Amino acid sequence: MDNKELIDIVAKRMDRSPRDVAKLLEALSTTLIEKCGGLDIVAIPGFGSFEPKKKLERVTVNPASGKKMLIPPKISLTFKPSTILKSRLR
């Protein structure tokens, strides 16, 4: 499913225009980016939670050349589905 299909399905279910739903999804994604970038956990009841985890910088060795490389720190985002979502997917 691509973004347009998602917008159309949600618009039909909510009896709203696709433009309104597109704005809603854009606001949701912007809020997730802002909050998770600040290392806050975002929980959506009945759906799940998005938890950012900060990985520290580390030194690794390239197996082909034997050179040491410094890998910079980064934030990775994990998703934990809620028990309601898990039970509906089974």
54 and 86 both lie in a single domain: yes
Q: Are residues 53 and 19 in the same domain?
A: no
pLDDT of residue 61: 94
Distance (Å, whole) CA 7 – CA 24: 10
| pLDDT for res 90 | 81
Q: What is the mean pLDDT of the chain?
A: 93
Distance of CA 15 to the CA centre of its chain: 26
What is the model's pLDDT at position 89? 87
Positions of the chain with pLDDT lower than 70, given as ranges:
none
- Claim to verify: residue 58 and residue 89 sit in the same structural domain: yes
6 and 26 in a single domain? The answer is yes
Kindly state whether residues 27 and 61 are assigned to the same domain: no
Q: Read off the pLDDT of residues 34-59 as tens digits, 9 standing for 90 and up.
A: 998 889 999 999 999 999 999 999 99
Work out the percent of the chain whose per-residue pLDDT is above 90. Answer: 89
